[in-house]
Amino acid sequence: MAMRPIPGSLRTVVQRCVFVLLLASASPARRRLLEQAAIPHRVRVSGVDESTIHDRDPRALVQQLAFAKASAVQSCLEPSVDAEITAVLGCDSVFVFEGEVFGKPADAKEAIDRWQRMAGGSGELLTGHCLVADGQGATMACVSTVVQFAALRLGEIEAYVASGEPLNCAGGFALEGRGGLLIRGLSGCYSNVIGLSLPWLRDVLPLTTEGLGRSSQ
């Protein structure tokens, strides 16, 4: 499933932003979303050990992880090097299926086992967002999208897992890749499934009056 093009009006808005965003993530998919939306940004990996952060509530967990990543990068900013940076963005995603949290599959066997359970069903992709803006503290949210999967034969599942794509994704699928063929529908934000809700980001970024047609706050 190909990425939907960013509307021209939104592209005009973000090109007139009065900031440079620092993405605290190693995710190529999140970086591509920012690039396609023409949002000025840099990338710096947080180095946060995710295995040390726990919470039984997946919504709270992804927000804690996003906050930890954004805070770690923000605390290391150097005025002489990072003067152009006005906001740091941290994100983290998990997939919840039948009450169980699915991160990245440990191996191909686990990916196949999960897909046999998920095929024909639906689950919830949760992405925690944390934006630390210059002088404004942290703005946090958990954005949810329901993902409906196609009914699949074992051979189809095995072929997809053999591609290697599921092993690098929360939930074991990539909407923007080969996994897009295996998804029947979505309820909620499309880009959130890829790892970053652009509608949420648009709402919280400091945009100019000219871009939005409203007074900046």
The pLDDT of residue 137 is above 60: yes
Q: State yes or no: pLDDT of 207 exceeds 90.
A: no
What is the reported pLDDT for 131? 96
Considering only residues 18 and 131, tell me which one the structure prediction assigns the higher pLDDT.
131
Q: Which string of DSSP letters, residue by residue, matches 15-49?
A: HT-S--EEE----HHHHHHHHHTT--EEE------
Q: How confident is the model at residue 9 (pLDDT cuts 50, 70, 90)?
A: very low
Q: Report DSSP letters for 160-193, one per residue.
A: HHHTSGGGGSGGG--TTTGGGGGEEEEEE-HHHH
Please state, in angstroms and as integers, the Cα–Cα distance from residue 55 to each residue in 60, 68, 71, 101, 204, following that order: 7, 13, 18, 11, 26
CATH class of the 8-205 domain in this structure: alpha beta
Burial profile 36-49: b = 16 or more Cβ within 10 angstroms, e = fewer: ebebebebbebebe
- Token readout for 156 is 């189809």
pLDDT category, 111, cuts 50, 70, 90? very high
Q: Which residues have CB under 8 Å from 91's CB, separation 6+?
A: 25, 27, 30, 66, 69, 127, 128, 129, 130, 195, 196
Please say if the pLDDT value at position 76 is more than 60: yes
Q: If we measure between CA atoms, which residue out of 140, 130, 96, 135 comes closest to residue 22? A: 130
**pLDDT at 177 (0 to 100):** 94
Q: Quick count: other Cβ atoms within 10 Å of Cβ 106?
A: 9
| pTM (predicted TM-score) | 0.84
Residues with catalytic function: 92
Helix (H) or strand (E) holding 135: none
Check residue 21 and give its pLDDT: 94
Which residues, 6 or more positions from 46, have their beta carbon under 8 angstroms from its beta carbon? Answer: 24, 25, 68, 69, 70, 72, 73, 90
Strand partners, 149: 183
Other beta carbons within 10 Å of 51: 6
For residue 185, the number of C-alpha atoms closer than 13 Å in the C-beta half-sphere is: 3
